[in-house]
Amino acid sequence: MNWLARLKPGASTSTNLLAAALMWSFIGLYLMMRGYLLPTAFPGVFLALALGLGALKAFLVIERAARKNMARIMARPDGGCLGGVYSWGMWALVVCMMLVGRLLRNSTVPSLVVGVIYVAVGWSLLWSSRLIWQEWKMRKALR
């Protein structure tokens, strides 16, 4: 079992926070771009609707998840596995969200509606990532 521990990609708390912030930000940006480019036309009113829905989702759901994730990372001992940046449940949720996104894209739901959903979810992730970035920046300044 000792050889397995040596293979573990251990990282500091600060690095785990950085990894979480990067993932939330990049996935958010990816979803926003993917959603915006999905329909042939994305009128401004639908972009505003998507951003509004995304902000609402961020404030009601995603920010709580970001805070819970940060608390989990900071409660772990320094040098924890980089893959442990999320709990098993969070990783399962990520896989489920990917499957739902795939189903949506291949469904009969109009591409404009799918685009609004993608942009909204992406914006909620990107906006909420600021909390993790702030914690990472604060920890970096304390060093």
Q: What is the mean pLDDT of residues 105-121?
A: 94
Residue 80: left (phi > 0), alpha (psi -120 to 50), or beta? beta
Tell me what pLDDT residue 5 has. Answer: 65
Q: What is the mean pLDDT of residues 55-71?
A: 95
**Amino acid at site 24:** W
**Structure-model confidence comparison of residues 12 and 27, the more confident one:** 27
Q: What is the mean pLDDT of residues 12-18?
A: 91
**Residues 101, 97, 35, 23, CA torsion sign:** negative
Residue 1: pLDDT band with limits 50, 70, 90:
low
As to burial, measured by CB atoms within 10 angstroms (0-12 exposed, 13-18 middle, 19+ buried), residue 34 is middle
What pTM value is reported for the model?
Answer: 0.88
pLDDT in tens, 29-52: 999 999 999 887 889 999 999 999
